[in-house]
Homo-oligomer: A and B are copies of this chain.
Amino acid sequence: MSEADKNAVWNTAVTRVEPNRVAVRGYDVAELMGRVSFGAAVHLILTGELPKPPIARLMDAILVASIDHGATPPSALAARTVASTGASLSASVAAGIISINRHHGGAIEDCARQLKKIADRAANESISMDEAATRTLADMKEAGERMPGFGHRYHTKDPRTARLFTLAREAGVDGTHMKAARAVEKSFADAKKALPINVDGAIGAILADLRMNPAAFNGIFMIARTPGLVAHVIEEQTREKPMRRIDPVNHGYDGPAARSVGTTTNEHQ
């Protein structure tokens, strides 16, 4: 036991730091570098386990899915508003992180918890997942509650959602949350409601089937979105005058034109 451990008044199980060795959940970071992706390292630090490559690939995809969503989300607007006052990069990005809450990114966790309730109901009441979904949606409707993670005013058929489930299945992930999600979609479709699962719901269902602690889901969204916030802050402080009125609606895009990844050069296992 090290000196620090003998005098320890409290303990952390996240990372051990010794001279010339930084180990996250037991793994030497220097050994991880170049061998695992950042998505794999995120899975490791949050769950304690290093994922097999297909799961690592799924983790990266989940993070890439949420890396940015333009200048409209409140996180980007808060970050830009603060950046406009001449604040530092970290203060501006932090204002964006603070915006990630119940209503912004929170659907990932809320949806996962609701899906679990449906799955538990099916088990407890010995009914099918479809029936559990239908009954739960009816209860929620009566209580005036919306089902988080389903439907989207803007993205009616989001390719990110389908891509996530494809990658999940390729990784052998298809547990009770994903099954419950399909049951909910079926129930809505039967009721003629256009409410397919959206990308937040998909991420929630998949992370839950990866057995990640739901308390961390809002954190996954923060991790994913930080690069977007950094990019928006740098752009705000580079292109725009300080203290400008930031129109949250009437802005356009003047970046690179649409282009494709290509099939060989950028593939990653």
Contact = CB atoms under 8 A, between A and B. Distances in A.
A173 interface: no
Interface in A163-196: 163-164, 166-167
The copy count of this chain in the complex is 4
A37 B269 CA distance: 9
A143 interface: no
B156 A268 contact: no
A25 B255 contact: yes
A250 B27 contact: no
A238 to B, nearest CB: 8
A265 B52 contact: yes
Contacts of A23: 258
Interface in A102-129: 102-104, 106
A27 B22 CA distance: 35
Most buried by B among A11, A87, A216: A87
A135 interface: no
Contacts of A254: 5, 11-13
Given A10-B240, A35-B267, A75-B85, 14 more contacts: A11-B254, A12-B254, A14-B231, A20-B158, A29-B67, A33-B164, A34-B167, A35-B268, A52-B265, A74-B81, A86-B106, A90-B222, A216-B234, A248-B248
Interface of A: 2, 4-17, 19-42, 45-46, 48, 50, 52-53, 56-58, 60-61, 63-65, 67-72, 74-75, 77-78, 81-82, 84-95, 97-104, 106, 154-160, 162-164, 166-167, 213, 215-216, 218-219, 222-224, 226-228, 230-235, 237-238, 240, 242-261, 265-269
